[in-house]
Chains A and B, each alone.
Chain A
Amino acid sequence: MATVRLSFSPAPVHVRTARLVGVAVARRAGVAEELLDEVRLAIGEACTRAVALHNQYGLPDLVTVEMSDSDSYSVRVIDHAPIEASVGLTKLPPDELADESLTDEALTTGVGFALLAGFVDDLQVRPVDDGPGTEVRMVWPVRRR
């Protein structure tokens, strides 16, 4: 099993780096080419969520992305925000998306979760084992090499 671990300060500019690394490792792991766009988007959304939470709570802590390719390709995105793991993970119905009362942040969060849930068949969101924080775990199948 090979593991790549990337930690970055919670700045938007680094989310692109995480996407690029995540896709590079996915390709190396044997994830099908036609899934790579979805991998790119899902890792980006999970990292965007983590960065937004760290900024919201004024946390300078690093966001961690851990990728491993054993029988499948799994990616864990770990934040340290002191919230319930399920906060912000609600898909918005169409009639609420363009509602004037919905804040930009709430809209982006809801849309972000819709993308995660829509693109990742095997998705888990749970509290981290130690201290505050959430782990978003995503798994994709790999081809035999």
Chain B
Amino acid sequence: MELSLATRTVAEHTVLEVGGEVDVYTAPRLRERLVELVDSGVRSVVVDLGGVEFLDSTGLGVLVGAMKRLRVANGRFSLVCSKEALLKIFRITALDQVFPIFPTIEAATADSDGSATS
């Protein structure tokens, strides 16, 4: 399935819903959208991976890049993911220690203590 991207606003957070396959071919589009969001002044990005069917190292690299951009801008970045197959990828790469990962959008947007980018 092709990559799909949609944004919506929840309180002060911008939620980017990602669906389909995020790989070496589609990841540049995800990077482009995340850069657009940060450049447009968004300071809290929640990436919802609920619709993602495939995620590879290129996609993970894009997510880390977005987190770094937001950190420089004093923003916050978090992920929503409850699929075991994807969570295993984060554990194996140790990126579960880098990203704040929440099981639901509600949990991600409720956590406003600003520690998410640490």
A residues with a Cβ closer than 8 A to B are 12-13, 15-16, 19, 37, 40-41, 44-45, 48, 51-52, 92-94, 97-98, 100, 104, 107-109, 111-112, 114-115, 118-119
Complex interface: chain B residues within 8 A of A93 (CB): 94
Complex interface: chain A residues within 8 A of B60 (CB): 108, 111
Contact between B25 and A111 (Cβ–Cβ < 8 Å)?
Answer: no
Task: Give the distance in Å from the alpha carbon of A40 to the alpha carbon of B21 in the complex.
Answer: 12
Main secondary structure of the interface of B (DSSP, over half): helix
Task: Give the distance in Å from the alpha carbon of A47 to the alpha carbon of B89 in the complex.
Answer: 18
Main secondary structure of the interface of A (DSSP, over half): helix
Contact between A94 and B97 (Cβ–Cβ < 8 Å)?
Answer: yes
Contact between A107 and B61 (Cβ–Cβ < 8 Å)?
Answer: yes
Complex interface: chain A residues within 8 A of B39 (CB): none
Interface string of B81-98 (1 = CB under 8 A from A): 000010001001111011
